[in-house]
Structure 1
Amino acid sequence: MSTIAFVGLGIMGSPMAVHLQQAGHEVRGHNRSPAKTGPLVEAGGTACGSAVEAVEGADVVCLMLPDGPDVEDVLLGDGQVLEHSRPGSLVVDFSTIRPDVARRMADEARDRGLRMLDAPVSGGEAGARNATLSIMVGGEAEDVETARPLLEVVGRTVVHVGPSGAGQTVKAANQLIVAGHLQVLAEAVALLEGYDVELGPALDVLGGGLAGSAVLEQKRGNMTERRFDPGFRVELHDKDLGIVTGAAREADVVLPVGGLLAQLMTSAVVNGDGRLDHSALLRGALRLNGRL
């Protein structure tokens, strides 16, 4: 069993750290808001006052942070994780950040005698709580196999998709697809309500055919009940679609629908929905139709 430092105990990181502790590992957690270490401590883990304290003596360092600048700050800035991690230890970044930043952080880790994987996840809060996440991993194959027993504690699907940065590129594609599903589901709900069709039976039959999807299954309740407590916040998906459009520009790839989705997600943020679940794209569809 490993000693694991886990930095970032938010909606996703907290249940992931708890699963690792319950699997028999010694998890030392740090979060900028100390109160969020509570569930890990209740599971038998240790709360640390700083990232440096958490990584001392750790075999594996896990990160689950909001954005690239946060990762850079924890690894190279005030967090000083790379400077204080034990040589040879493995850094696993579960955050969703730009692919070029992931590659640069892996190079920085390698220069200090560390190994690093980018391992962004899909599945939202429910996936984190149920340990059913899909994990797309970029890095050296040997390091992926070393990390696999840990990754399989928190995820159901663990796939090595290529070298450093590849995990983040696949995650960008994932976020593009999820945003597309959410937007067209929102528009379908607006259309059905425009004709006063009962949503439950309509979504039942749509879910049983080619229109069915994990997004429809997991988010239909949010939309039908207008319940938008965050499982994954609009503002984070907005950030992710910025990663999508930036990565497309870097690779000279044209994403016309992706560009539109990015604008619609930003519109949701501008209209005050940033802290809501991304299923709140329905509110944007209703706004466009004068129904909100």
Structure 2
Amino acid sequence: MGDVQTIGFIGLGAMGQAMTGNLLAGGFRVQGYDVSPQALRNLEVSGGVAVDSPGAAGEGAQVVIVMVPDVPEVEAAFNGEGGLLKSPGDGRIVMVMCTIDPNAVLRFADTAEAAGWHYVDCPVGKPADAARRKESVFMLSGRPEDKKTVEPVLVAMGEGIIDCGPVGHAAVIKVVNNYMSGIGALVVAEGLRMAEAGGGPTDKFLEVINDTFAGNGHSRMWFPSKALVGDIEPGFAIRHNLKDLDIARGYMIRAGLPDFIASGAVDAYRQAAENGYADKDFSAIYNHIGDVRNKPVD
């Protein structure tokens, strides 16, 4: 395959909009599809071409990127009405960049390959705000030659590419990453509420844990700029975090691993979603804990 000039893009939500903006700024032609008419209008305003089906997004494109919420949406993009795989791939690349179950990644890769497409597994690290600033980190899996082909595309959208080996490896690493991040946010939120219950000042709590092994990215960067200053608009929504934790828990169970922490975390975020925080930032788990705090026991 020669140089990539035209990119099909399926899924123009917060991440997709940020990524297509960077691709257009990088000189690529982008033809995109989304179920949302407003998302299509946004693409056109940015200089992209809006199309009416996943298959149309792939017409004439050397690389097609899929960035949709979960397995059913990938299935629809591939095999639904006007699906991408209904046209022969002829050795072109479909790069799935959403966070989905690793077993589904392997199944989709087999389906795509049978239709003549080369499958690249490339989930994205960091949320949409970082994507807009070209600060995304990409976990890249696939054939060596396909990874080389998509490298300029990824460079246009982010700042880091980590080669994770063959298809499926990146998906596992991304699920583990999001699992640890979701757990980390919950631990920080619970710790903050414990410190408050004891009358300790939040700033001193953060100062201490951030100078020890207890600190993490949430305590150092995310919570101080989000929930702790009253901003719970989604950088990464609780409903997406809940989905990823559920994927991780299922993967652990299938692998025969104990899920000491996963089940409790899934329950906590599900309760937060049901408490009105589904579309709020996952740091809003701090707000949810404050909402449901029980009276102390003597």
Same fold? TM cut 0.5 = yes
The Cα shift of 1:38 comes to 3.8
Q: In the aligned structure 2, how far is the partner of 1:55 from the partner of 1:6?
A: 8
| Residue correspondence of structure 1 range 29-178 to structure 2 within 5 A | 29-84=32-87, 86-178=89-181
Matched, 1:213 2:216: yes
Structure 1 unpaired stretches of 5+? none
Q: How far off its partner does 1:260 sit? A: 1.8
1:28 aligns with 2:28: no
CA distance in 2, matches of 1:100, 1:79: 25
- Measured at CA, do residues 85 and 37 of structure 1 come closer, stay the same or move farther in structure 2, by a change above 3 Å? farther
* Corresponding residue to 1:258 among 248, 258, 262: 262
One-letter identity of the residue aligned with 1:191: M
For 1:190, the equivalent position in structure 2 comes to 193
More deviation, 96-105/82-91: 82-91
* 2:293 counterpart of 1:284: no
1:246 to 243, 247, 250: 250
Q: C-alpha displacement at 1:85, in angstroms?
A: 5.4
Equivalent pairs counted in the alignment come to 291
1:233 deviates by: 1.1
RMSD across aligned C-alpha pairs, in angstroms? 1.9
Partners in 2 of 1:140 and 1:249 — Cα distance?
29
CA positional deviation for 1:198: 3.6
Correspondent of 1:3 among 6, 9, 30: 6
Cα drift, residue 247 of structure 1: 0.9
The answer to whether the 8 Å contact 2:10/2:54 transfers is yes
Instruction: Call closer, same or farther: CA 1:85–1:43 in 2, change over 3 Å.
Output: farther
* Aligned counterparts of 2:230 and 2:199: Cα–Cα separation in 1: 16
TM-score by length of 1: 0.93
Please say if residues 56 and 82 of structure 2, whose CA atoms lie closer than 8 Å, have aligned partners that are also in contact.
no
Counterpart residue number, 1:231: 235
Q: What whole-Å deviation, never above 9, does each CA across 1:198-230 have from its counterpart, x for those lacking one?
A: 434543454354344322202323221232111
Cα offset, 1:285, TM superposition: 2.3
Matched letter for residue 262 of structure 1: V
Quick one: distance in 2 between partners of 1:208 and 1:42?
Answer: 46
Q: Is the 8 A contact 1:21 1:40 kept in 2?
A: no
Contact 1:58/1:86 (8 A) holds in 2:
no
The normalised TM-score by structure 2 is 0.91
Does the CA-based 8 Å contact 2:253-2:259 persist in structure 1? Answer: no
| Cα separation, partners in 2 of 1:79 and 1:118, compared to 1, 3 Å | farther
Residue 19 of structure 2 aligns with an amino acid whose one-letter code is M
Q: Deviations over 1:172-222 (max 9, x none)?
A: 101111011101110122123224444345434543543443222023232
SS in structure 1 opposite 2:226? Answer: helix
For the residues of structure 1 that align with 2:276 and 2:78, how far apart are their CA atoms?
Answer: 32
